[in-house]
Chains A and B, each alone.
Chain A
Amino acid sequence: MTPKTSIQARVSPVRSLETVTRRSTGAAAGLRPEVVRLHHSKPEVPKISLHGVTLSYKTNDGKRLIALDNIDLKVRAGEFLCIVGPSGCGKSTLIHLIAGLHFPTSGQMMIDSNPITEPGTDRILIFQELGLFPWLTVGENVEFGMKMKGIPKAERQEKVRYYLQLVHLAQFKDSYTHQLSGGMRQRVALARALATEPDVLLMDEPFAALDAQTRDLLHDELERIWAETGRTIIFITHNVREAIRLADRVALMTFRPGKVKREYAIDLPRPRQLEDISVARTVRDILDDLREEIDKSLKEQYGEEVHA
C-alpha cells in the first residue's frame, strides 16, 4: 500500500476534467485517495467554486490585459489546495477575487453555493504585502478581525495571546510592526488571519520571507491547525516543494492568459518529509511543468521588450 504513484491524477491539459480527492490523513494515511469524476457521480457541494472567471485590467496605454482567463476551480470543504505558477500569472488576482475584494469581469464565484459579492469573515486572506496596520501594535493587529466581529474583549485578549504564542511572537505583543523583521511580520499576518477563525484561509505566499527552519515549523503548525479545525485552505506559493509538503491538490497556473493548466492530486501520507523519495519525485514532475511555464513567461516578457 505504499503510495508509489506520486502523481495520482494527472489531469491532462484539458481543464474540464476536475478531480475531487478525499484527504488521506491520520489513520487513512497510505490509502490511495478516491478520485471522483464530477461528471459521473453526485458531488458534494464544493466549499468554493469558480466557474468561467475572467478578469482583465485596463493598462496605461488603454489596452486590456487579461489577467485571468476562464478559470474553473472547485475546492472541497476541508481541502488544502496549493496554487503555483510563474510570477505575474495572476495568482494574487485570483485570490483577491475569492476574498471578494474585486469583481471578476465575467464568471461566477460561489462559497457554500452563495455567490461571492463582498469580503466576509468566513474567508480571510493573508496578503502578499501583508497589509499589517502600522498604527496598531502587534497585539492590536491580531485582535482587529475579532473586534470587527464584535467578540468580547476578554475573549479577544485570550485569543491574541494564544495565536501570538503559536507563531512564537508572544513577547512582541506590544511592539509596532515596523520594529519587526520581514519574517516576523509574516507571522503576525498569519496570527491575525488565524485569530479571526475563518472557514477558509486564503494565503498569498505567506511564508516567502522566512528562513527554512521557521518555515518548517510553521508548515507543521499550519498542517496541525488544518487537520484539527477542518479549515479549507487555498495557499499560493512559488515553491513547489512547499506546495507538495502541504497540499491535497496542486493547481498549476499558466502565464498570460492566466489559466489553470493542470491539477495534481498529491497522494502522499502525512506528515510528509521533503527528503522522502516519493516527495522528491512529485516535486520534480511538477517543477518540470512549471519551468516550462516560467520559460514561456520570460520569453513573452523579453519579446515584449523587443517589440516595444
Chain B
Amino acid sequence: MSNSLPKKIARHGIFYAGLIGIWSLLAALKIWPPYVFPTPWGVWESLAAGFADHSFWIAIAVSMKRMLLGYGLSVVLGMILGLGVASNKFLEETMGGLLVSLQSLPSICWLPLAVLWFGLTEKAILFVVVMGSLLSVTIAMEDGRKQMPKIYKMAGRNLGAKGLQLFWYVLLPASLPFILSGLKQGWAFAWRSLISGEMIFISLGLGQLLMMGRDLNDMSQVIAVMLLIIGIGYIVDGLVFKALEYRLQQKWGLAVS
C-alpha cells in the first residue's frame, strides 16, 4: 500500500463512505423503529440543530473548561507526587505500590464519595476528573524521572542549578519525552471520567446532553453527541499531543514513542 497523502485520504474516504452506506441501507430496511436505529441523515440533522441552537457549543465549552481545570490540576499534582515518589526510597516502596493498586479502580467509583463531600456541585465532577488522570500522570512522572539519563541532572547541578530551578529547567524538560505518553494517557482517562461524571447529574456538559437524548428518546441526538465526544478526543490527541511529540522529535532528534 502506498502512503502518499491523497491515496491515504482516498482509502479513508472509501472506508467511511462504505460504513455510512451500510448504515443507510440498514436504516432504509426499517427493521428497527427510528428512535432505536436512526438514519445517518437524522444524526446529521441533530448535529446541525445542536450547533444552530448553541446547545452543543455551550456543552463543549462547559466540558472543556472542566477538562482544562481538572486535567491541569492533576498534571501539576501528579508531577509533584511523581517526583516525590521517584526521589524517595520510602515513598517509592509504599506509595508506589498504593498508586499502582489504586489504578485498577475505575475513576467513576470516586463519584459517590465526591458527592458526599462536595454535594452535587462542580467540585464533585472536578474531583472525579482529577482522580481519573492523577494516577497515570503520577506514575508516568515517576517512570520518566527514573528513565531519564542521570547525566542531565549532574550537568544541571554542575552548572549551578538547584532546587526549583533544577526541576524547572532541567528535570522537567529532560523527562518530557519519557512522560509524554503518560500525559496523553492521563488526558484520555480524564476525558472519560468527565463524561461519565457529567452523565450522573444535571451539569450542562456533553455527558448531560447524552442523557438528555436518552430522556427524550432521541437516538439521533445520542449518536450526534457520541460523535462529538469522539471528535473532540481525536482533535486534542491529533493536534495537541501530536504537535508536542513532533516538537520533541525535532529538538531531541529521536523518535518519541
Contact = CB atoms under 8 A, between A and B. Distances in A.
Nearest to A189: B155
Interface in B148-173: 151-152, 154-155, 157-161, 165, 169-170, 173
Contacts of B165: 148
A135 B176 contact: yes
Given A101-B154, A125-B158, A132-B155, 15 more contacts: A96-B154, A120-B160, A131-B158, A133-B173, A134-B252, A135-B173, A135-B251, A135-B252, A144-B159, A144-B161, A145-B160, A148-B161, A149-B160, A176-B251, A176-B253
Nearest to A149: B160
B252 A127 contact: no
A133 B170 contact: yes
Given A133-B152, A145-B159, A178 B173 contact: no
B254 interface: yes
B174 interface: yes
Given A121-B159, A133-B170, A196-B159, A127 B154 contact: yes
A211 interface: no
B252 A148 contact: no
B4 interface: no
B158 A148 contact: no
A52 interface: no
Contact of A133 (B155, B248, B253, B254): B155
B3 interface: no
A119 interface: yes
A229 interface: no
Nearest to A135: B173
Contacts of B94: none
Nearest to A150: B160
A96 B161 CA distance: 16
A132 B174 CA distance: 11
Interface in B214-257: 248, 250-254
Interface residues of B, number: 21
A198 B105 CA distance: 53
B174 A124 contact: no
Interface string A183-197: 000000000100010
Nearest to A99: B158
B176 to A, nearest CB: 7
Given A101-B158, A196-B159, A131 B151 contact: yes
B114 to A, nearest CB: 38
Contacts of A136: 173
A189 to B, nearest CB: 9
Contacts of B159: 121, 124, 144-145, 148, 192, 196
A101 B154 CA distance: 7
A144 B169 CA distance: 9
Contacts of A131: 151-152, 154-155, 158
The 7 closest A-B pairs by CB, nearest first: A178-B253, A131-B155, A148-B160, A145-B159, A121-B160, A135-B173, A131-B151
14 contacts: A96-B154, A127-B151, A127-B154, A131-B151, A133-B170, A133-B173, A133-B174, A134-B253, A135-B176, A135-B251, A135-B252, A147-B169, A148-B169, A176-B250
A158 interface: no
Contacts of B254: 178
A259 to B, nearest CB: 25
A273 interface: no
A148 B248 CA distance: 23
A178 B248 CA distance: 12
A135 B254 CA distance: 11
A118 B170 CA distance: 17
Contacts of A176: 250-253
